[in-house]
């Protein structure tokens, strides 16, 4: 049972020294539990937060413990009447090949309904984050302009495409020409490269009527360019701030909080942070039904970036924080 442990807490950008790969015994399931073998491990930006001891909305991974993570896994042995060997389940095994979980903590997947990898992507946590944050907080109206960055990722790509389904104009922001071309394929009205030296002017030209919804995934220089373009009554669901996840100190320069507060006041902005869990009870079922229908009808597409081998998980994760992934990042663990 190969597994990846958190070896130490990173200072700034995480490195290979922060992880340790080891081989352990395959655990035995107790009554009511199942032994699972990981097929796909999901790599997500929130894992950077779990590596750190800084106070957050969830407890950190302990040093010496297996890194946390969502998984699609196959039942190898079952001590529950609800599951049998060969069943595929959504689970939370973390960065390891085998693990046991109580059967009631996993959800059986139907491979005939959708590719199983989507359970941690378009039809899983990231897709739901986009759906809930955009529709419950952003509330785009027909004809309005919605802007989102990290727009080729599982959250951002879903945000832009749902905005289109709702009749809004979608402006996607991504890093590099390849990603920009893909946004055009997905049907975004405008696609911009945030690494371009003319990004600020490009954004201004792309939103002649201003911005009504800015779905915040990144922060940093993208937010700086967006803020002056927000319309009165604009909504800003604050979903993620990946540009700051490796920060070790406050940014240089003058304190700009007073200007930000002034913009919030004078433009009557709604800036509302959220963690997707809060919407699960009320909206998860509707999400699954609506988004799987949109995928079947070809109104929503998704892209996956699959890396093979658990031993490559740390490098792939570093790439995610640098924008090197192209689509939902997954590690295929073990044989096909
Ligand atoms: P992605 O697959 O989109 O990966 C992150 C992307 O962020 C990178 O590929 C890169 O894309 C972009 N990025 C990285 N650094 C910067 C930077 N400095 N400036 C601009 N863009 C940058 O990730 P997800 O779709 O899984 O997640 C998107 C966001 O949503 C994250 O911030 C994540 O933390 C957040 N999230 C929040 C949840 C919640 O409940 N609130 C739940 C799930 C995700 P590019 O090359 O295009 O720049």
Instruction: Give the number of domains in the chain.
Output: 2
45 alpha carbon – ligand 1 mean position (Å) = 6
Check: complex ipTM more than 0.95: yes
* Residues 105 and 174 grouped into a single domain: no
Q: Is residue 16 part of a domain?
A: yes
Which of these, 41, 25, 36, lies nearest to 98 by C-alpha position?
Answer: 36
Q: Is residue 33 part of a domain?
A: yes
Could you report the per-residue pLDDT of 252-301, keeping only the tens digit for each?
899 999 999 999 999 999 999 999 999 999 999 999 999 999 999 999 99
pLDDT in the model for residue 334: 77
Q: Are 193 and 222 in contact (CB under 8 A)?
A: no
> How many residues are present in the chain?
336
* Residues 148 and 28 grouped into a single domain: no
Domain-terminating residue out of 234, 258, 277: 277
* Residues 34 and 112 grouped into a single domain: yes
103 alpha carbon – ligand 1 mean position (Å) = 31
* Residues 49 and 135 grouped into a single domain: no
* Residues 81 and 158 grouped into a single domain: no
237 alpha carbon – ligand 1 mean position (Å) = 14
* Residues 194 and 229 grouped into a single domain: yes
* Residues 202 and 108 grouped into a single domain: no
* Residues 311 and 230 grouped into a single domain: no
Pocket of ligand 1 (CB under 6 A): 44-46, 126, 129, 149-150, 152-156, 174-175, 179, 194, 217-218, 220, 222, 239-240, 242-243, 274-276, 320, 323, 325, 329
* Residues 111 and 129 grouped into a single domain: no
Q: Which CATH number goes with the domain that contains 89?
A: 3.90.180.10
- Enclosing domain of residue 89: 2-117+304-332
Where are any strands of DSSP class E within the chain? 2-6, 19-23, 33-42, 71-78, 88-91, 98-102, 107-108, 145-149, 169-174, 190-193, 211-215, 230-238, 270-273, 304-308, 328-332
26 alpha carbon – ligand 1 mean position (Å) = 34
Q: Is residue 76 part of a domain?
A: yes
CB atoms within 10 A of CB 41: 27
Which of 58, 117, 127, 153 best tests ligand 1's pocket when mutated (most atoms within 8 Å of CB)? Answer: 153
Q: Which CATH number goes with the domain that contains 250?
A: 3.40.50.720
pLDDT in the model for residue 336: 58
H-only helix segments in 41-153: 46-50, 125-132
Could you report the per-residue pLDDT of 25-67, keeping only the tens digit for each?
999 999 999 999 999 999 999 999 999 998 899 999 999 999 9
Q: Is residue 64 part of a domain?
A: yes
User: Whole-prediction pTM value?
Assistant: 0.97
In this structure, the strands spanning 98-102 and 33-42 are antiparallel
* Residues 259 and 325 grouped into a single domain: no
218 alpha carbon – ligand 1 mean position (Å) = 6
Could you report the per-residue pLDDT of 310-332, keeping only the tens digit for each?
999 999 999 999 999 999 999 99
* Residues 163 and 211 grouped into a single domain: yes
* Residues 113 and 131 grouped into a single domain: no
């Amino acid at each position: 049972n190969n597994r990846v442990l958190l070896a130490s807490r990173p200072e700034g950008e995480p490195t290979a020294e922060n992880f340790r790969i080891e081989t352990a015994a395959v655990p035995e399931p107790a009554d009511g539990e199942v032994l699972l073998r990981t097929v796909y491990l999901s790599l997500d930006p929130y894992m950077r937060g779990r590596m750190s001891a800084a106070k957050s909305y969830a407890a950190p991974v302990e040093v010496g413990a297996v890194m946390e993570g969502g998984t699609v896994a196959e039942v190898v042995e079952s001590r529950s009447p609800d599951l049998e060997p060969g069943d595929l389940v959504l689970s939370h095994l973390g960065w390891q090949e085998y693990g046991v979980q109580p059967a009631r903590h996993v959800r059986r997947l139907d491979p005939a309904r959708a590719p199983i990898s989507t359970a941690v992507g378009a039809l899983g946590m990231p897709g739901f984050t986009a759906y809930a944050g955009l529709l419950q907080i952003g509330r785009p109206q027909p004809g309005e302009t919605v802007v989102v960055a990290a727009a080729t990722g599982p959250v951002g790509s879903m945000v832009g495409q749902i905005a289109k389904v709702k009749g809004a104009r979608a402006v996607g922001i991504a890093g590099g020409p390849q990603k920009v071309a893909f946004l055009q394929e997905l049907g975004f009205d405008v696609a911009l490269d945030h690494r371009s030296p003319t990004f600020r002017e490009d954004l201004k030209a792309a939103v002649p009527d201003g911005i009504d919804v800015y779905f915040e995934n990144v922060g940093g220089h993208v937010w700086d360019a967006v803020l002056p373009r927000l319309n009165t009554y604009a909504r800003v669901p604050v979903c993620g701030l990946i540009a700051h996840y490796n920060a070790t100190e406050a940014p240089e320069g003058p304190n700009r909080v007073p200007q930000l507060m002034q913009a919030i006041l004078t433009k009557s902005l709604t800036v509302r942070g959220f963690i997707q869990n809060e919407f699960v009870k009320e909206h998860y079922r509707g999400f699954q039904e609506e988004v799987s229908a949109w995928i079947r009808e070809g109104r929503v597409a998704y892209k996956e970036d699959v890396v093979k081998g658990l031993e490559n998980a740390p490098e792939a994760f570093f790439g995610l924080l640098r924008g090197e992934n192209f689509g939902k990042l997954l590690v295929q663990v073990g044989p096909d």
